[in-house]
Amino acid sequence: MLHDELTSLGAQLQEALRGDDPLTLARIAGLVHRVAPDDPALIHARDALAAASIDLSAPAEDALARLEDAGEDDDAEQTWGALCAFDELLAAATFLGAAESLREVTEDAARLIRAFPEPWRPHAEAATALLRDQPPPDGDPAWTLWSTVEASRWELPLDDAGMPARTRFELGFWVSLVDWGGQNPVRLAAAGALRDAPPWLTLTKGAGWEIALTRDDDGAPVVLCSDPAATASVDGVALTPTITAVGARFPATPGAWSVTHSGGTTRFGVDP
Q: What is the DSSP secondary structure assignment for residue 116, as one 8-state letter?
A: S
110 and 176 together in one domain:
no
Residue 156 within a domain: no
Domain total for the chain?
2
Distance between first and last Cα of the chain? 47
Please check whether residues 215 and 182 belong to one and the same domain: yes
Q: What is the DSSP letter of 127?
A: H
Amino acid identity for residue 123 in this structure? H
C-alpha span between 110 and 203 (Å, rounded)? 12
The rounded distance, in Å, linking the Cα atoms of 242 and 3 is: 42
What are the E-state strand segments in the chain?
175-176, 200-206, 209-215, 221-225, 231-234, 237-238, 242-244, 247-251, 255-261, 264-271
Whether residue 178 sits in one domain with residue 136: no
User: pTM here?
Assistant: 0.60
Residue 158 lies in a domain: no
Within-domain flag for 31? yes
**β-bridge pairing 237-238 and 242-244:** unpaired
Same domain, 142 and 185: no
Residues 114 and 38 in one domain: yes
What pairs with residue 234 in β-bridges?
Answer: 237, 257
> Is residue 157 one of the residues assigned to a domain?
no
Per-residue pLDDT of the chain (272 residues; tens, 9 = 90+): 444 455 678 889 989 989 889 999 999 999 999 888 888 999 999 999 998 889 999 999 999 999 999 988 889 999 999 999 999 999 999 999 999 999 999 999 998 998 888 899 899 889 988 888 888 888 899 999 998 898 787 654 444 444 555 555 555 556 555 444 444 333 444 444 443 444 677 788 787 788 888 887 777 888 999 899 999 999 999 999 999 888 899 999 988 889 999 888 888 888 76
Last residue of a domain, one of 111, 128, 151: 151
